[in-house]
Amino acid sequence: MSAPLLKIENLSAAVGGKKVLQGLSLSVNAGEVHAIMGPNGSGKSTLSYVLAGRPGYEITGGKIEFEGRDLTTLAPEERARAGLFLGFQYPVEIPGVNNVYLLKAAVNARRKAQGLQEVDAYEFLQMVRAKTKLMQMDESFLSRGVNEGFSGGEKKRNEILQMLVVEPRLAVLDETDSGLDIDALKVVARGVNSMRAADRGVLLITHYQRLLEHVVPDFVHVLTRGRIAKTGDKSLALELEQRGYDWVLEVA
């Protein structure tokens, strides 16, 4: 059997000297969708930033392997080129850099790392347009500055659009569902579902189970106090919705 897409073993991490992750273990195989749920402050966003390699998030113990490679030795841009994608909880606005430019730069960076030629400009634009349509975004968004003046929901859709365009091996989506109305949530879910494939994995970090009605996970993990306290199938998400997180803490 080939190595899991993502294998985290006994991971500890600190932010600003404060221990946030404390012995987290998790394994994601290709073809699987995992949901990570947990109360505020449990370490959900920290996990996503540690995976993406954000400066200031210090790994103090444990291992992270991505397709058998040690992820922690890679710079953030190398992780992206290896096929890891982070959908940000709060995507930044970058006025002056247009969306299409960023999409193309991202795709070409990955292709270059794979020893492939740059994308054909025309074909690329056709592909981006089709995916923009899938995300129910107006084409005018493409020529605007990255997230510039976008509403909260538009920013989240734009994250999913980027994911669809770069076609990562593993997508880590950090609370992509927060702040979305039900229609936008369905659009985002459709985007994520269209990415599901036998050779890809998704890690959905979420606070609520409503996204999981539309993107049905293979596994649901409860993250509390910096470690996975409980793992189950999609029914665990419903149970959490009804009973809250406290009972998991009591059991753990």
Partner 1 sequence: MSAPALPTNRDENWRYANLRPLAKARIDAVAAPETTGSRIELPAVLPGFERWVFVDGRFDAANSTRAPDSCAELLSFGAAGETLAAMLDTEIETAGVDFALARLNGARGDQVLVITPGDGAETRIELNFVSTTSAAAGTSYPRVQVHCGRGSHLHLVERHLGSGAADAAINAAFDVALRADAQLDHCRLQNCADAASCFDTLVAHVGERATYRLRTVTLGGLSSRSTIFVKLAGREARCELLAAAIANGTQTHDFFAEIEHAAPNSVTRELFRGIANERGKLGFNGKMIVRENALDADSDQSLKTLLTGSGAEAAARPQLEIYTDRVRAKHGATTGKLDEQMLFYLLSRGLDRAQAQALLQWAFIEDAVSQVQLAPLRQEIEQLIAVQLSEVSALDGLVSRS
Distance CA 64, CA 62 (A): 7
* CB-CB contact of 47 with 55 (8 Å): no
Would you count residue 97 as binding partner 1 (CB under 8 A)? yes
- Which lies closer to partner 1 via its Cβ, residue 17 or residue 96? 96
Would you count residue 86 as binding partner 1 (CB under 8 A)? yes
Q: Which residues, 25 to 64, sit near partner 1 by CB under 8 A?
A: 52-55
DSSP tag of 217: -
* CB-CB contact of 11 with 62 (8 Å): yes
Would you count residue 104 as binding partner 1 (CB under 8 A)? yes
- Which lies closer to partner 1 via its Cβ, residue 90 or residue 252? 90
Give the type of residue at 157.
R
Strand 6-15 versus strand 18-28 pairing type: antiparallel
Residue partners of 148: CB distance under 8 A and separation at least 6: 93, 94, 95
Would you count residue 94 as binding partner 1 (CB under 8 A)? yes
Q: Which residues, 116 to 175, sit near partner 1 by CB under 8 A?
A: 145-146, 162, 166
Would you count residue 202 as binding partner 1 (CB under 8 A)? no
The contact set with partner 1 (CB under 8 A) reads 52-55, 75-77, 79-81, 86, 88, 91-92, 94-98, 100-102, 104-106, 109-110, 113, 145-146, 162, 166
